[in-house]
Amino acid sequence: MELKDGAKVFIKNKKLGKYLFVLRDDKPNIPNPNCWSLIGGGIEKGEEPIKALKREVKEEIGIELYDIKKIGVLDVPLTLMGETKIVLGHIFLAYIDADIKDIKLKEGQRVEYFTLDEIQKKKNLSSGAISRIKEFRDLL
């Protein structure tokens, strides 16, 4: 698997006032196995970050986002199979109204809504999610 720039999103459910996180698969050949993470993924060559985000969200949870806005870009150290590379992480904020039961999870073990305080108490929160929450909390 090639390490590439990515697009991740804080997905907020306006009714609940909570954010959607995914518990990643527990596979050694993916970044952050068995960790809670933001939804999103790699940007293909020539693809705009927002298009990549929409594609990844559709692939992973089958839900359409609304009111999508870019909130920043970070340098992200990504390690896979012992190789670490710095990639660009394009970070977005978007909204959904879906109940958990309406989300058709296609990648990962499960999804769940959390407040930012609740998710930060998880021992298996990905390092990327930790840094993105710290960096962008005031914009959420």
Give the pLDDT confidence of 27-69 residue by residue, as tens digits.
988 888 999 999 999 999 999 999 999 999 999 999 999 999 9
**pLDDT given at position 132:** 93
Taking 90 as the threshold, does the pLDDT of residue 77 lie above it?
Answer: no
**Is the Cα torsion angle 51, 57, 60, 61 positive or negative in sign?**
negative
Domain locations along the chain = 6-139
Q: What are phi and psi of 129, to 5 degrees?
A: -65, -40
Q: Would residue 101 be called left, alpha or beta, if left means φ above 0 and alpha means ψ between -120 and 50 degrees?
A: alpha
The DSSP string of 72-126 is EEEEEEEEETTEEEEEEEEEEEEEE---GGG----SSSEEEEE-HHHHHT-TTB-
**pLDDT given at position 137:** 95
Q: Would residue 33 be called left, alpha or beta, if left means φ above 0 and alpha means ψ between -120 and 50 degrees?
A: beta
Q: How confident is the model at residue 125 (pLDDT cuts 50, 70, 90)?
A: very high
Query: How far, in Å, CA of 16 to CA of 8, rounded?
Result: 21
Does 3.90.79.10 match the CATH number of domain 6-139? yes
**pLDDT given at position 48:** 97
- Mean pLDDT, rounded, of the chain: 93
Matching residue, tokens 């705009």: 48
In this structure, the strands spanning 18-23 and 110-114 are antiparallel
Query: How far, in Å, CA of 104 to CA of 9, rounded?
Result: 17
